[in-house]
Amino acid sequence: MLKRPRLLLCLLPTLLLLAAGVVRAAPEVQPGDAVLNLLKDKGLLPDPAQLAAQLSTQMDDSPVLQQVRDTASDLVLSAMNFLGVRYRRGGTSAEQGFDCSGFTRYVFENSVGLVLPRRADQQARNAGLLDVKKDELRPGDLVFFNTMRRAFSHVGIYVGEGKFIHAPRAGGEVRVEDMRAAYWTKRFNGARRAELPAPQLNAQP
């Protein structure tokens, strides 16, 4: 299953940036904050007060961090819930395991209600998605790669700061990787974005 030390090394920069967006948006961490609660439950973050003290003077506001806190927040959080789920060809659920497009389809449908086509190449060509340039990526965008000598043969979900989450291959498990690594840079095919509705904020007492 999930190998936490390796996961921590891989995810720590992204997780700290996600948490930093929360810290900058609200100086005092609220008990109901979905991002920090999820990461705390997984043992991937220190105490929020300690984190705030460490990061509040180090991080500037970032469009990437802001995006995590708005329309793509639920989608990215949902995707991260499946870290460590095994790869299975044709798999479409956490119980079965996921293949790459089964994973993206499941996350989009169950987090934001958008039903994507089943295959990666069909998702890339979906008329309802917008083409996105690599330097304009935002968390929640679909990112596509040529890993089988054909265009759009692999897909994942961009999570920010050059990282994406995906179900990689047989024998692997859902994980976060760096798109800037040579392997992924050479195989990047493009990205697509769904126009997602802004989440409804709970009224404050």
Establish whether 10 is a catalytic residue: no
Establish whether 64 is a catalytic residue: no
The catalytically annotated residue of 69, 105, 154, 192 is 154
- What tokens were used for 124? 């890339």
Establish whether 170 is a catalytic residue: no
The two beta strands, 142-145 and 188-193, are antiparallel
The catalytically annotated residue of 24, 69, 166, 175 is 166
DSSP string, 9-72: HHHHHHHHHHHHHHHHH-SS--TT-HHHHHHHHTT-S--HHHHHHHHTTT----HHHHHHHTTT
The two beta strands, 175-178 and 130-132, are unpaired
Return d(Cα 179, Cα 190) in angstroms, integer.
12
The catalytically annotated residue of 11, 16, 77, 100 is 100
Q: Which residues are catalytic?
A: 100, 154, 166
